[in-house]
Amino acid sequence: MTVTTIAARRSCGLYEEDKRDDEIQSSEAHMRIAVLVSGRGSNLGALLEAEERGALAPAEISLVLSNRPQAPALERAREAGRTAVCVDQTRYRGRVAMEEAMLEQLTRHRIDAIVLAGFMRILSARFLASFSERVINVHPSLLPAFPGLDAAAQAIAHGAKVSGCTVHFVDDGVDTGPIIAQACTPVHAGDDAASLHRRIQTLEHELLPRAVQMLADGRLSCIGRRVDIRPLDGT
């Protein structure tokens, strides 16, 4: 394929840096990860830092993909020198067309697994079938409590005494997939949704990179709803 210009790609709702297909490198030894984002990207930041200090290997962040051109996470990715692509949701008619465009990017960048880090769209069963047990998400509550939007606010409104975060495999429900790992924090009397969410995010920034590394190491297997984690020594 020839070099595609940014302008040409913008006309079809896709924004990215210039890159030829033969510049996209693949390595057998690594699991090539795409991080899907819609917002701030603090979890993306934590993944990038983990990769920097060798705590993500054999996973490598090979693509950052956003559905919103204005997502600060895209800028964060570019500042870190990463391939950052936007599949602008406003430019596609319906989910099927948008997911086709996403799949095209994921295939082009030879992606093995997907990490949803604040990606604010539900993925279809058809899309997920292409990445069976290779899509994970981080959610700011102790699932199955408080799925969906504003999880910290839901926990406060419910009077929960403990909250936290969950990393789970993604199925076609809303935050319903098999749970990989969780971390918890008390809910303090003076907490509001923002202060609780800040504390939960500190936990997310530790837990998500660890889960990604376990996935890339082949240590996770789903047995029905239960996720088995093989210990490090392989026993």
Binding site for ligand GRF (CB under 6 A): 39-43, 73, 117-118, 138-140, 201, 204
Nearer to ligand GRF, 46 or 101 (CB): 46
Q: Where does the chain have alpha helices with state H?
A: 6-11, 42-52, 72-79, 94-108, 125-129, 151-158, 193-216
Q: Is the dihedral of CA 12, 17, 22, 27 positive or negative?
A: negative
Q: How far is the CB of 143 from ligand GRF (least distance, A)?
A: 11
Q: Which residues are catalytic?
A: 139
CB of 148 to ligand GRF, least distance (A): 10
Which single residue is written with the structure tokens 């391939």? Answer: 83
Nearer Cβ to ligand GRF (42/67) = 42
Q: How far is the CB of 167 from ligand GRF (least distance, A)?
A: 9
Cβ–Cβ under 8 Å, residues 73 and 44: yes
Q: Nearest approach, Cβ of 26 to ligand GRF (angstroms)?
A: 27
Q: Which residue is nearest to ligand GRF (CB)?
A: 118
Q: Which is nearer to ligand GRF, 29 or 149 (CB)?
A: 149
- From residue 188, alpha-carbon distances to 146, 150, 164, 197, 210 in Å are 18, 18, 12, 12, 27
User: Which H or E run includes 223?
Assistant: strand 220-223
Nearer to ligand GRF, 78 or 110 (CB): 78
